[in-house]
Structure 1
Amino acid sequence: MSGGRGALAVTALGVCSPGGVGVTALWEALATGRAHHPPITEFDVEGATLGAAGRVPGHSGAQDTWRALDLAESAVREALDGVDDTGRERTALVLGTTDPGLVPAEPGRLAGDLAAACAERTGLGGEAITVANASASGAAAIAVARDLVASGDAPAAVVGGADAVTDMAFLGLNSLRTLGPEGCRPFSTRRRGIGLSEGAAVLRLEPYAPHDADAAEPLAVLAGCGLTNATGHLAAPGADGIEQAVRLALADAGLGPEDVDLVNTHGPGTRRGDTAEVTALRAVFGARLPSIPVNSVKGVLWHLQGGAGAVEALACVLSLTHRAVTPTWGAEPVDPFCADLDLVLDDGPRPVPELRTALSVSCGLGGMNTALVLRRP
């Protein structure tokens, strides 16, 4: 699926993650490889493969099922800074999450209505939509919001994803042997699984008017989206579905593989996941792939679940604005299967003055794949 309805301006960002609260803190974390992964204390993890999780440092809020809503509110408020009540009145809110049941029911509201609850807290009066597409939820939500704004159904949208670390998610993944003792080690021979994190990330999307001299220049342009549901196995990712999502996103943006300057991968640090994603990228980019910087932010932040695709799209926007690519922390020693990739194994962000187009890939259980194309204005 691809929208094919035109580009949108990314005019503001909001985020809270294990790297800290706010956009500046996120860039610093991705640049230095430092984030917050304390031991889990609110539920019993004895015998689990991993005893820690990524947490938002210094973020006050309930350590219970309302946590995802608190995190979403924090990110949305940052993205709405400077927007008055009139501007908020018709702005839509689309939020991805892996478990829409995280928000308890209140009188007059269905359990799991994360977007509606967050819109009420932040004064957004437009349509409120919650998207649950596994780990691709945040990225899929961005595609949904793009269609809302591009079609004229909403004048603007705040969109992204949020999730909390719960006993159900953590212990469920542990029972599936999905957690790794060192957290996420994308593309590394030392990878053994993922580390789970909490957090939220959102982008504000508005119509793009490149020829309007009075319009402020956006941070970036959301140029294309591609979504596939290529279910071959409930848990194992498939290269074909990822490849198709990337091709759809590029076609939607009116671009070809030769136009991409950065690939931000899903990069969870699982053998099957990394292998499927690299196989798909080789099919799309061919002999050019080794010359394109390829990174994953999960080596720093670990896996933000439904917020992962959103925070990774936001990281692409920051790379475009800084004209630099952050390293894939934790990738060394690199798996020989991935040895031809430029994983940006630098000690900090690599300046790329010509960086113009970034591709962000997100994958979820059950074959949910999303690719987003972001460009400099």
Structure 2
Amino acid sequence: MTETNGRRRVVVTGTGVVTPIGTTVPEFWDSMKQSKCGVSELGGFPLEDLKILIAAQIKNFDHKARLKHFSRDKIIMHADRYSWFAGAAADEAVKQSGLEMPVADPYRTACIIGSGAGGLTTYEEAYRNLFIHNKRATHPLTLLRIIGSSAAAHVGIEYGIKGPTFATCSACSTATHAIGLALEYIRRGVVDVAIAGASESVINYGTMKAWQALHVLSPEGCFPFDKKRNGTVLGEGAGILVIEELEHARKRGANILAEIVGYGSTSDARDMVNPGVEGPSEAMRLALLDAELEPEKIDYLNAHGTATAINDENETNAIKQVYGDHARKLAISSTKSMHGHPLGAGGGIEAVACIKAMEENWVPPTIGLTDPDPACDLDYVPNKGREMEVTYTMSNSFAFGGLNAVLVFGPAPAA
């Protein structure tokens, strides 16, 4: 059966990541198994008067080595760092999917790769050159580098994608919204294949100053659900999925990794910074309704888990509202404790963690959780991952502005 309730079924055939704890999926997953922390001393640009001196940065990323084989899109070598991350993650996902490129049916393929901030590192470099170094002009590709849809365009050009190609932008829910939109396009027959996710690279002086001013960054580390949590830690990276209509994947003999069975999206419509409980609860409920699953069917939940005081408590309460008694039996973790908060890319990276958890029947931990907050009293898989049977997973993304998006993944359909 390739349809459910008149909708085409959608499966994942490729995954790709670039993160501070691994710049490929195998490296990323191995680091999680080792409970590795990607947070380190901030560097790579003038720190000047910054007070927050840590971040989860990707170090020693060689874009020339990772993207040297790109043949259709040569300009990506001169693109912004966020586009490099997107290109590398998409390349890994496409290779795993086994799709032949350029795509055979370009108008039946979509490329939806979002970014919460686009080319902010390019912005800062251009402004420093103009206003500090008194240069008379910026790099000729500055405009192309900064645009938030550049990553989607670069990837679309490389793979010959002529269907819907654009970016989503919804702060920390960006990647999840991108995957959700791609899911709906395939379900409704607009396209058969999509490359979807998000990429982010915003760690620079100006961004650190802006986040400092909001008082949501920790000077010590990312400790979700712990009493000692005092803010999040900025990260960077990309998370990309290749998704397909089930029959399309079967016909070409693809190795199916998982099925996307549910998607829910809501807005709090109440506050730009302080999250609510109702919006996240409803997004989870809608995702379960879309998946036609009772809450008890979810084995692992990848929490948004930013390590800010109000976010973690509210997410805990939202999970309790949706899951009832099952909330205390549910394995939950915030992988941001390891890879930091990569803003718009978070949902893509965390979707890959959910798929790998199902594939290997092992759930990643929340590291640094040594003294749980009594208000966060669920099973957050402290410090070490856990072997367990994992059939269905949920991934939460709850963004500034109260923008909520949730995905539910299930097992690969039987042949």
TM-score with structure 2 length normalisation?
0.83
Identity rate of aligned residues, in percent?
29
In structure 2, the residue matched to 1:113 is 149
Are 1:299 and 2:299 matched, yes or no? no
1:290 to 307, 328, 348: 328
In structure 1, the residue matched to 2:257 is 219
* Counterpart secondary structure, 1:85: coil
- Is the 8 Å Cα contact of residues 358 and 392 (structure 2) preserved in structure 1? yes
Letter in 2 for 1:17: T
2:284 to 246, 251, 262: 246
Residues 195-252 of structure 1: CA deviation (Å, up to 9, x unaligned): 1111001011001249969744511111010001112111001110000000110011
Q: 1:65 to 1:84 in 2, by over 3 A?
A: closer
- Is the 8 Å Cα contact of residues 119 and 128 (structure 1) preserved in structure 2? yes
The Cα shift of 1:150 comes to: 1.5
Are 1:360 and 2:391 matched, yes or no? no
- Is the 8 Å Cα contact of residues 135 and 306 (structure 1) preserved in structure 2? yes
- Is the 8 Å Cα contact of residues 77 and 122 (structure 1) preserved in structure 2? no
Q: 1:350 to 1:85 in 2, by over 3 A?
A: same
- Is the 8 Å Cα contact of residues 137 and 161 (structure 1) preserved in structure 2? yes
Whole-Å Cα distance in 2 between the matches of residues 88 and 315 of structure 1? 29
Letter in 2 for 1:69: S
Give the alignment of 1:1-377 within 5 angstroms.
5-61=7-63, 66-81=80-95, 82-87=98-103, 90=106, 91-100=109-118, 102=120, 106=141, 111-114=147-150, 115-164=152-201, 165-209=203-247, 215-339=253-377, 341-345=378-382, 347=384, 349-353=385-389, 355-377=390-412
What value does the CA root-mean-square deviation take over the aligned residues? 2.6
Whole-Å Cα distance in 2 between the matches of residues 37 and 89 of structure 1? 42
* Counterpart secondary structure, 1:316: helix
* Counterpart secondary structure, 1:100: coil
Letter in 1 for 2:214: L
Q: How many residues align?
A: 372
- Is the 8 Å Cα contact of residues 8 and 188 (structure 2) preserved in structure 1? no
Letter in 1 for 2:395: S
* Counterpart secondary structure, 2:263: strand
Letter in 2 for 1:350: R
Letter in 2 for 1:37: V
- Is the 8 Å Cα contact of residues 7 and 253 (structure 1) preserved in structure 2? no
The Cα shift of 1:359 comes to: 0.8
Q: 1:139 to 1:289 in 2, by over 3 A?
A: same
The Cα shift of 1:84 comes to: 1.9
Whole-Å Cα distance in 2 between the matches of residues 346 and 101 of structure 1? 34
Q: 1:42 to 1:217 in 2, by over 3 A?
A: closer
Whole-Å Cα distance in 2 between the matches of residues 233 and 144 of structure 1? 25
The Cα shift of 1:174 comes to: 1.0
Q: 1:65 to 1:195 in 2, by over 3 A?
A: farther
In structure 1, the residue matched to 2:135 is none
Point out the structure with max Rg over C-alpha.
2
TM-score with structure 1 length normalisation?
0.91
- Is the 8 Å Cα contact of residues 197 and 301 (structure 1) preserved in structure 2? yes
Q: 1:6 to 1:358 in 2, by over 3 A?
A: farther
Whole-Å Cα distance in 2 between the matches of residues 148 and 168 of structure 1? 37
Letter in 2 for 1:129: F
- Is the 8 Å Cα contact of residues 89 and 123 (structure 1) preserved in structure 2? no
Letter in 1 for 2:393: A
Q: 1:79 to 1:88 in 2, by over 3 A?
A: farther
The Cα shift of 1:119 comes to: 2.0
The Cα shift of 1:64 comes to: 10
Residues 307-361 of structure 1: CA deviation (Å, up to 9, x unaligned): 001101110000000011111111221111113x1111253x31113x1000111
Where do 5+ consecutive residues of structure 2 fail to align? 65-76, 124-139
- Is the 8 Å Cα contact of residues 39 and 221 (structure 2) preserved in structure 1? no
- Is the 8 Å Cα contact of residues 221 and 375 (structure 1) preserved in structure 2? yes
Q: 1:255 to 1:51 in 2, by over 3 A?
A: same
